[in-house]
Structure 1
């Protein structure tokens, strides 16, 4: 990356980190994905219980390998041979872990975290239960405001995830949402019943947190995840 463009991106990261910290969310810049595992390890204690939400970023940065091969009690939703009921039990157990890992769909320069989910086991655990939540997020996910965050999900994150998950949604087939822009009628969701197989069921904005630094965001200076 051109040094001047990188400097500009780092300035955007710095603004976002400051705003997140003002919302009682710990935020740190990690220059490259290869440095993420060691940063994560420094935030964990030996033997503590950990779990993850669905996230491409966790795989691409090596966090999943760290949790599987480290000295942690990992409730692994991806373990081979799990039945649907066993996966559900992992999701429920995730509320009781010490640390929960996930990513975000967008970060705003106002210090907000924006997430959209289908089954919503991820956002549920992020909201309540685990003592600590660590989000691994690319700097590509930083946007100016919530309106831009909504558009990012409609045009980038949701289509890519629908393809990954094999969901027969409009965005899977067309590369963008039925309503890819923000309007007063379709600010977040599309009209009732229009997208039968949507993966966008629940929309959560994390703003000022009551428990300081419970949520920690590692912003990676690379393109990772969706």
Structure 2
């Protein structure tokens, strides 16, 4: 029997998918992590190189990197602990020209808009143009009413938790909410709103009926 929570997640997710399709994105609703993991593997062509943005959803919660390695894909992952700053920067650039790029989104509006805030900008750059195929995964917790709600969600949830995850000494790691800091380690530098599918980017958005990422 479907619970009210499951019903609401599916109803909300499918509503967002329809809005995304009106904005010319390929979009699908999937019920759980396993379904979305399998769908990603279906969407990535054999032999394709794969860039992975700084995403808790893809790397930590879907656990898909091992599957991609086993299939022989060349992976560009920049935020591994053993990398030098030069290696990190080189991998970020390689993500821009990978055959496929995997990312999440900070927020997804009911009108089918993707809202993101980056520190460096490599993630949002690769989402918009460069890779032949972009796959964006959004947990149902990322769905918000509109762009204003999206920005508030980022300030209240995504920014503080990502700062804490990375270990940066920004004020939000103490207050739990964005303080619009001005320090050199600030990660809220580049804000993008993708209102329609970029005209030369093959982009698929997978909306998942579970809470994923920050």
Would you call these one fold, judging by a TM-score over 0.5?
yes
User: 1:49 and 2:49 equivalent?
Assistant: yes
Report what 2:17 is aligned to: 17
Question: Over aligned residues, Cα RMSD in angstroms?
Answer: 1.8
Q: What is residue 203 of structure 1 aligned with on the other side?
A: 191
For 2:127 and 2:200, locate their aligned partners in 1 and report how far apart those are by CA, in whole Å: 14
C-alpha distance in structure 2 between counterparts of 1:76 and 1:11, whole Å: 34
Q: Secondary structure at the match of 1:130?
A: coil
TM-score by length of 1: 0.88
1:64 deviation in Å?
2.2
Q: Distance in 2 between matches of 1:57 and 1:25?
A: 20
Q: Deviations over 1:108-166 (max 9, x none)?
A: 00110000000111111111100111112111100010111011000001010010011
Correspondence for 1:134 = 135
Matches within 5 A, 1:27-106: 27-58=27-58, 59-78=60-79, 81-106=82-107
- Find the aligned partners of 2:157 and 2:168 in 1 and give their Cα distance: 15
1:78 CA displacement: 4.4
2:207 maps to 219
- Note the C-alpha offset of 1:69: 2.5
The aligned length equals 212
Task: Structure 2: state its 5+ residue gaps.
Answer: none
Distance in 2 of aligned mates of 1:212 and 1:7:
35
TM-score, length-scaled by structure 2 = 0.92
Question: Do the aligned partners of 1:136 and 1:219 also contact (CA within 8 Å) in 2?
Answer: yes
Residues in 2 aligned to 1:93 and 1:221: alpha-carbon distance in whole angstroms: 31
Which secondary structure does the structure 1 equivalent of 2:177 belong to?
Answer: coil
Pairwise CA distance, 1:51: 0.7
Describe the superposition over 1:160-200 as per-residue Cα deviations: whole angstroms up to 9, x where unpaired.
0010011111211100112xxxxxxxxxxx4xxx4324210
SS of 1:96's equivalent in the other structure is coil
Q: 1:117 to 1:80 in 2, by over 3 A?
A: closer
